[in-house]
A and B are shown apart, each in its own frame.
Chain A
Amino acid sequence: MTQSKNFRLFVSLIAALAIISTVRLWTSQDALTSSDTIGTALRLTVPILLAGMAGLWAERCGVLNIGIEGMMIFGTWFGAWGAWQFGPWAGLLFAILGGVFGGLVHAVATVRFNIDQVISGVVINLFAFFGVRYLSELVYVGKQGGGISQSPPQKWALPRFNLPILSGGEIAGWKSPDFLGWLELQRWFILGDLGGISRGLTHNLSWATVIAVLVVPASAWVLWRTRFGLRLRSSGESPVAAESLGVKVNHLRYYGLLISGGLAGLAGGTLSIVASSYYRQGQTAGRGFIGLATMIFGNWRPSGILIGAMLFGYAEGIKLVASDSITALFLFIAAISGVFFVVAVIRRKRVQIAVALSAFLLSAIAYRTVDTVPESLTQALPYLVTLIVLATANQRLRPPAMAGVPFRPGEPH
């Protein structure tokens, strides 16, 4: 059962690689799978991934968190402040604390006072936006390089490293060969792409990125393998049942929201400390909401969220690194939609046939007719890709059953 599942996953991965490799060689757009693109994509994936994980922790314990965006804003501001004052590691810690503060506000409002969870989240978003603007006025205005919408630049950056042997990292002063870089330069079918992708994931890495990616298995382990995790999930699935078994649902919802806030804060911190070196107003740019979208896309599971976040990250990354390649991406989408179309026809799923066919036609036409893509369209690309995947992926969504429903312990149910 699981073996055939793994085999299918392996085959579809190879097939996807083969398709994109063909497209790359056909259009000579090496940027599609270059280590540059993938590295950028990974950096852009991180904040979305963390935002998605923040959503996961909140909804698994039974509370909707629309306020992730706001908690990320706290993260960007406090992170940048901490990094400016005490260095990047302290900055990340402050970012987490800023998010935890947002999570605590949300918890007190929704768990303690039973305020509507959506309203509380929206208020946190507004409060964060204007709150940090006020703080900037107090702290940043008048400092060199700082202002009401921007912090002074940080003096230090987080260390970056390359993986030894594979991507040319150093071992005790000895510079090891960059095997993947060499492989990428050969431009061989599939192998060249594999080299580019692997090098992008292992080259010029920030430790913060490593930590962020480790959040995924760590969360999965805590949620599914520990007592705390089981109880937290039960608070989101059936708080009444959990309470009847002596689980303190509201305590767990507090913990869930504090963790959620902390992850959102860390997501903000990576934006103002890792992806740039200062806080800027509007830095989060709606990534909190994209994080929520990846959570739904990922079916409320850590691995699914990782895939969803990588999808967004890649689409955004290619836009930044090589916007010329976007036309090639149209061809890639056309090819993928074509495959989905065939699968849908074999399985006789009418809706999926229609969606895959229209996606195929649209992207094929776009590839033939469009030379340069306007900026506004390239910005919409990640959303377009997600829309297509959401429509064609035949998944059974299983959200936590009681996420969003307030729970008052000890009342007659």
Chain B
Amino acid sequence: MQAGSKKSSQTLPLESAHVVELANISKSFPGVIANRDISLQVARATIHAIVGENGAGKSTLMKILYGLHQPDSGTIAINGEITQFKSPSEAIAAGIGMVHQHFMLADNLTVLENIILGYEPTKYGVLSLGNARKRVKELATSIGVDLDLDLPISELGVGQRQRVEILKVLFRGAEILVLDEPTAVLVPQEVDELFTNLRKLVANGTTILFISHKLDEVLSISDQITVIRQGSTVATVSPKMVDRLKLAELMVGSDLPSHGKRTTLVGEKIQLSTNNLTVIGKNRKNPVENVSFKIFESEIVGIAGVDGNGQFELCEALLGLVDIEGTVEIGGKDASKLSIRERLNQGLAYIPFDRHREGLMLAASLWENSLLGHETSLSRGPMIDFDAAKKSCKEIIDRFGVMTPNELVPAFVLSGGNQQKLVVGRNLATAPKVLIAAHPTRGIDVGAQAAVWEEIRRSRDAGMSVLLVSADLEEVLGLSDRILVMFDGEISAELDPKSATPQILGKYMTGTQ
């Protein structure tokens, strides 16, 4: 640990009112320019939001601030002092703490081990576990968190994991807190709790950098907002001066496509239905219990729910990945006994929950990824038709606006949003009859989100049925023709999106109603 670079706030001269000052930061990766000449100033004890589309370079910028990447050019000044962070430990020593978008936790290690890792209180290299436990307990109590420190992380829920992340940062005595998309996984009530905590932290003198693309949240919590577009800073504004629409336009750089009301009617033919569908849990409660629903032609049915209430297992059951009781019908025909391939041939398509785990081969090229599942149509005999496969990939790239140098680069080069566009494009390109879309716009920006929604709407108007699983209530409310709420493996409510609000949904989703 680099001692001495950490200064207490009282001894600082007045001119360094800016705790963090980034000047002319540029950074490029092979084939992609992530940051171009970015400058940013953050005042002490404020919440400074950084908004921008996915791939705009927010995460890269924060990783540079945190020492995970080194900038190609530009300077970082902390408390008025120009510094270079060669590694996160140097950034941590300077009082910077980061809560990552994807939780940076080791599942098999305990809560305590995760919190102290990298900053362990020791005596001659031996962990002082008793001392560590006492300090973590104190910290947890001070922000009103109750956690069993000896549980492995794998047994915690999402909200609890985030609390572990925040405790981790506080344990290091961070004065500058970077939160990367902290609300992406939380239900409205949990978001309120988080915001209460953040305001307390700011009152105690902590400075917070808040990265998000949920504009309402940004407007409600921040003191300053910096907008980043295509790797450059566009503007720094006060939330009092702008509204949601203005902010969105700054992010996207053009007028947003209007959503428009639907003009077509829901069809009469049932395209997907289940009858008392149950997924048997091995050594645990059944993850899906007696679920029955019907989806008509040209209809979007949204399933709202907190992650882990059976939505994932429901999708797997519809696809034929798990054994079920009850029946699944696709296009009016019993599909319960069909294999996965046969179900896909019946016109089923699936946008999976986790694009990294189920959607993409990260190390393979884009055209190979877009080929997945369509091998038969893009082959000549047993051989893959390379030209046709690449051409089809190019079409997806153009139609869905995937930002990439070409179709030959590996998928891990793309930002999360662009990866998701590729996955969505792959599944919509073949004009399926029934689409199961699980979090189709998770982690992607407003511009890309609007584009994906528009494509889903267009396909629906052309007759496609959609089962939309999402934790993003705005998405569920904006897109669905009908909403089902899933709680604890069962359908707990059926709502009309015209009369439902996020608060009502939140209550059903958490089982408080």
Contact = CB atoms under 8 A, between A and B. Distances in A.
Contact of A226 (B70, B90, B125): B125
A234 interface: yes
- Which of A227, A400, A401 has the most CB atoms of chain B within a 10 A radius of its CB? A227
B346 interface: no
A412 B29 contact: yes
Contacts of A246: 1, 87-90, 92, 118-119
B100 interface: yes
A353 to B, nearest CB: 16
Nearest to B63: A412
B107 A238 contact: yes
B66 interface: yes
A412 B419 CA distance: 14
B118 A410 contact: no
A399 B418 CA distance: 33
A230 interface: yes
Interface residues of A, number: 24
B106 A245 contact: no
Contacts of B29: 412
Contacts of A233: 106, 109, 113
B68 A244 contact: yes
Contacts of B453: none
Interface string B87-117: 1111010000010100111111100011011
Contact of A231 (B1, B69, B107, B117): B117
A144 B297 CA distance: 89
Contact of A227 (B60, B92, B109, B120): B120
B86 to A, nearest CB: 10
B189 interface: no
A230 B100 contact: no
A247 interface: yes
A400 B126 CA distance: 22
Contacts, number: 86
A369 to B, nearest CB: 39
Interface string A223-261: 001111011011001101111111110000000000000
B127 interface: yes
A242 B1 CA distance: 15
A350 interface: no
A227 B60 CA distance: 30
B122 interface: yes
A228 B90 CA distance: 19
A143 interface: no
A401 B68 contact: no
B88 A234 contact: no
A398 B108 contact: yes
Given A400-B108, A401-B108, A412-B60, A244 B66 contact: yes
A247 to B, nearest CB: 5
Contacts of A244: 66, 68, 88, 98, 100, 104
B107 A247 contact: no
Interface string B53-78: 00000001000001011100000000
A225 B66 contact: no
B127 A227 contact: yes
Nearest to B1: A246
B312 interface: no
Given A244-B104, A400-B108, A227 B88 contact: no
Contact of A241 (B90, B104, B122): B104
Interface string A313-330: 000000000000000000
A410 B106 contact: no
Contacts of A400: 108
Contacts of A243: 68, 88
Contacts of A237: 106-109
A401 to B, nearest CB: 6
Contacts of A398: 108
Interface in A359-413: 398, 400-401, 410, 412
Contacts of A238: 104-107, 109
B264 to A, nearest CB: 41
A245 B114 CA distance: 10
Interface string A214-226: 0000000000011
Given A230-B117, A412-B29, A412-B412, A241 B106 contact: yes
B320 to A, nearest CB: 24
Contacts of B168: 245
A242 B107 CA distance: 12
B119 A245 contact: yes
A241 B66 contact: no
A226 B105 contact: no
Contacts of B109: 230, 233-234, 237-238
Contact of B92 (A225, A245, A410): A245
- Scoring B103, B105, B108 by chain A CB atoms within 10 A of each residue's CB, the highest score goes to B108
Contacts of B1: 246
Contact of A242 (B98, B106, B120, B129): B106
Contacts of B113: 230, 233-234
Contacts of A241: 103-106, 114, 117
A410 B103 CA distance: 17
A243 B117 CA distance: 10
Nearest to B69: A410
B106 A401 contact: yes
A228 B126 CA distance: 8
A231, A240, A243, A412, most chain B CB atoms within 10 A: A412
A33 B60 CA distance: 65
Contact of B125 (A228, A234, A242, A412): A228
A234 B363 CA distance: 24
B179 to A, nearest CB: 14
Residue with the highest number of chain B CB atoms closer than 10 Å, among A242, A244, A248, A398: A244
A247 B118 contact: yes
From A233, A240, A245, name the one whose CB has the most chain B CB atoms within 10 angstroms. Answer: A245
B120 A230 contact: yes
A135 B130 CA distance: 52
Contacts of B117: 230-231, 234, 241-242, 245, 247
Nearest to A400: B108
A349 B89 CA distance: 49
A244 B125 CA distance: 21
Contacts of A410: 68-70
A302 to B, nearest CB: 16
14 contacts: A226-B125, A226-B127, A230-B109, A230-B117, A231-B118, A233-B106, A237-B109, A238-B105, A242-B117, A245-B88, A245-B89, A245-B119, A400-B108, A412-B29
Which A-B residue pairs are the 4 nearest by beta carbons?
Answer: A246-B89, A245-B118, A237-B106, A241-B104
Interface of B: 1, 29, 60, 66, 68-70, 87-90, 92, 98, 100, 103-109, 113-114, 116-120, 122, 125-127, 129, 168, 412
Given A228-B125, A231-B120, 6 more contacts: A227-B126, A234-B117, A244-B68, A245-B88, A245-B119, A400-B108
Interface of A: 225-228, 230-231, 233-234, 237-238, 240-248, 398, 400-401, 410, 412
